[in-house]
Each structure stands twice: as structure tokens, then as C-alpha cells.
Chain A
Amino acid sequence: MRLLVWFFLALFSIIFQTSVFDKLEIFGAKPDLLLILIVYANLDKKMYKGLAVALIGGIFADGFSGTIFGIQLICKQVDALITQFLSRRLFVNEKFVKILIIAIVSVADKVVLCSTCILLNQNMNTFLYLVKNTAIIILYNVIASLILFRFFDYIFILGDKIYKTCYMIKKKLQA
């Protein structure tokens, strides 16, 4: 049930990222919804769930980007692993720590993406992409994450409530 919610969250993140968030560009930077979702999924230290969300997100991202299929998959897996590593060593309930993780993962995502492109000899603006708006992207991701983390919390609380109600109804009907 929960994995299904994660699946749809990843799907809608990609849809919003490519349509609505594409218009919210400031100085060439836009918030990375999928990255925020992956960090959120990996903050509670459950490795399988976190990696599964990164896998789903990575596949969607690859399908939607113009790059070679598989690049985003690696990036998102690395993002998930970094979040797992940091969340095991830091006190993640603090807002500041969450912000710090988002900032670190944002930079790591860019570095991994650019290095993979260079390794695969992809003819892209890797240096420009890496240097140009990193600070703005970090800032944008941090601000977006403050809102989105609350939104994701709300979605899961609502999902649990719906699931419990359905379960109760089912039990009553069986009785």
C-alpha cells in the first residue's frame, strides 16, 4: 500500500517537475522535486524502502530526460545512499540537519550526473551546469523541501487514515 503511494508520489513529482516547476525557473535554477522526495524517503533509515523509491524515481527521471537511460538511475541511487549514510550518523529530527542533508545531496546529485556524462563522453554543458547555479539550486531545494516535507507527512497521515478506515469497513462487512 505504502509503496504504491511512493510510486504515485514519484510519478507526480516527475510530472510537476517537467510541467509546472519548469516555469518556476529563477536564474536558470528550479527545485528538484524528485531529489527532495528521495531524501524524504531515505531519512527514516529504512534502506529497502529508500532504495526502492530511488529506483522508481530514477527510472521515471531517465524516461523523461534526454540523457542516456540509466544515468539518472545511478544518480538517484547515490543520492539515496548518501542520505542513508548521513541520516545514520546525524540527528535527523532537527530541521537544520534535514536542510544540511538536502544541500549535500543536491551538490552530490549534480557532481554524479556530470561525472557520469563526462565518463560516457556525452557532449553536454557539464562544467557550466556544475558551476553556474549550484548555490541557487541548493537554496531553492532547501526552501522547497521545507514545504514539501510537511506535505509528504500530511499525505502519509492521510493515507494511513484512509487505509485504517477501509480496513475497519472491511472487518465490519465481514462480521
Chain B
Amino acid sequence: MKRVLVPVIILCTSIIILTISYNYSQDNIKSVFLNLLHPFQKLTSSVYKSSVNLKRAIFSVRQMRSREATLEKELESLSIEIGLLRSLHAENKKLRELLKIKNKYNYQIIFAEIIGGDITGLYDSVIIDKGRKDNIENNMPVTTARGIVGMTQDVGAYSTRVITILNPNCKLGVFVGKSSLRGVMQGKGDYCIIKYISVEENIEIGNKVYTSEGGGIYPEGIEIGKVFRIDKNLHDIFQIVYVLPCVNIRNLDRVAVIKNK
């Protein structure tokens, strides 16, 4: 009797916990866990990363030298480009002042390192080493130089969970290519799909997809990926556009969180 009763009680308790947390916000519970385990996770992650880097350094000294030379050249050209962009920025600022246009974009970039992933594999998310102490809040866009990664969700004091664009819970407004066709993109595990684009609109495979300002989270014009498949049925109102992200989300080391000042 006891053998049956104990598991039944424990299972019922688990179901009650699930029901309670389903109906209430879990931000506080999740952030407590993030805070508690942040130091351990940071330590293991940095030990793992340094061992991998050490192994790489030992086996690729020659490659690194040649890479250093190319990177130096790249750095030089980028410095020149930055100089030009600065002068353009200054000119832009002056013109805006003359025309009395308020600056729409005023962002602060917070760089973060990825220290963990999701344990289930079902929920596409990563944990970064920046949190509330670094002015990170919920629903902030997360990106890399190549393109958008996702947005912040559970914010702890020193670490934050980021849900990626591959997560079905992550929906964002996008536009496709130069035609600026707007739709809503949703994650599908290994790729994303764009809904609510009329079948009459002409989209081609290889078209680039960018973030749109519609959702109020992402700044406009950040690259997301490329169209690799289109499902068009003439009897339907909308077509489904399949997008492959340009960022390899499962293999990231560093990201940048964009904060709107």
C-alpha cells in the first residue's frame, strides 16, 4: 500500500506545482535558479573554453600566424571604414539638427558570453553571463555581427536566458528583401517560417529577411537569414516562407544585447 501511495502523492504534488506555475509568472523562481547556479556555470564554461582554446593554440600555431596577418589587414581597412562612418555620422547628426528630426535610434550594446544552453533541447534557449546588474531587462534583442539571435527572457542578477529565433515561442515582425513585404516570423526548431504574406506577393528563394520595427522589440533592418523554400497554394490566402537563419545559433560563443537608450 505504502509503495503505491508514496509515488502517487509525489506525482500529485508535482502536478499541483505545475498547475500553480502554469497560472502564475515564473520570472522570480527562474531568476533565483539563474542567480544560484551562475558562478558554477561560469566556472565550468570558462574552464571548458580555456581547455578548448589551449588545445587549438597548441595545434594551430602556424595557422594563427597567417591568420594574424590577415586580421591585421582587415583591422586596418575596418579602422578606415569606421573613420569614414564617423564622419558620416557627424554629418548625419548635423543634418538632423538642421531638419529638426529626432534621432530614432539610440542604442547601447552590451556584449555577453554564452555560458550555458537548455537542458531539454526542446526549448531553444541559451544562457548569457550578463544580467540585471548589467542593465539587461526582459525582451531585449540579442544579436551577433552576422544577424539576429533572439531576445532576453528570464533575467537574473548575473545571467539571463535568451530564447532564440528558432524557438516557436519567439515571434517577430520581419520584412523580406527589397520589396519590403512584411510578415510574422516564428521559429520551427531548425529553421523559421514567415506567415501572413499574401499568395499574390512574389518572393524568390535566396531573398534576404530582415527584422522590422513592428513588434517594438527589434530595431529595423537587422539581417535574419535567407529564404530557402516557399509553400504556395493558390487556394490559400497566405503563403508560407521558410527561412534559414544566417547565424549558426547552436554554435555561438559571444553575442551582443541591444539596449534602447
Contact = CB atoms under 8 A, between A and B. Distances in A.
Contact of B29 (A14, A63, A66): A63
Interface size, A (range):
35 or more
Interface residues of B, number: 50
Contact of B22 (A17, A28, A70, A78): A70
For the complex, would chain B's binding face be called helix, strand, loop or mixed by DSSP majority?
A: helix
B90 interface: no
Contacts of A58: 14
Nearest to A15: B40
A47 interface: yes
A67 B123 contact: yes
Given A64-B119, A113-B122, A124-B169, A20 B48 contact: yes
For the complex, would chain A's binding face be called helix, strand, loop or mixed by DSSP majority?
A: helix
Contacts of A61: 119-120
Contacts of A47: 3, 6-7
B121 A123 contact: no
B117 A18 contact: yes
A51 B117 contact: no
Contacts of B18: 68-71, 73-74, 116, 120
A28 B118 CA distance: 12
A74 B19 CA distance: 12
Contacts of A72: 119-120
Given A34-B119, A124-B169, A69 B153 contact: no
A63 B14 contact: no
Interface string A1-32: 00000000001101111111011010011101
A124 B127 contact: no
B208 interface: no
B182 interface: no
28 contacts: A15-B37, A15-B40, A22-B116, A28-B121, A28-B250, A30-B121, A47-B3, A47-B7, A63-B29, A63-B36, A64-B37, A64-B118, A65-B119, A65-B120, A66-B120, A66-B163, A67-B120, A71-B18, A74-B11, A113-B122, A114-B122, A120-B18, A123-B168, A124-B122, A124-B123, A125-B168, A128-B189, A132-B189
B21 A68 contact: yes
Contacts of B37: 11, 14-15, 63-64
Contacts of A124: 122-123, 167-169
A149 B168 CA distance: 36
Interface of B: 3, 6-7, 10-11, 14-15, 17-22, 26, 29-30, 32-34, 36-37, 40-41, 44-45, 48, 52, 115-125, 127, 153-154, 161, 163, 167-169, 188-190, 250
A115 B34 CA distance: 26
B122 A63 contact: no
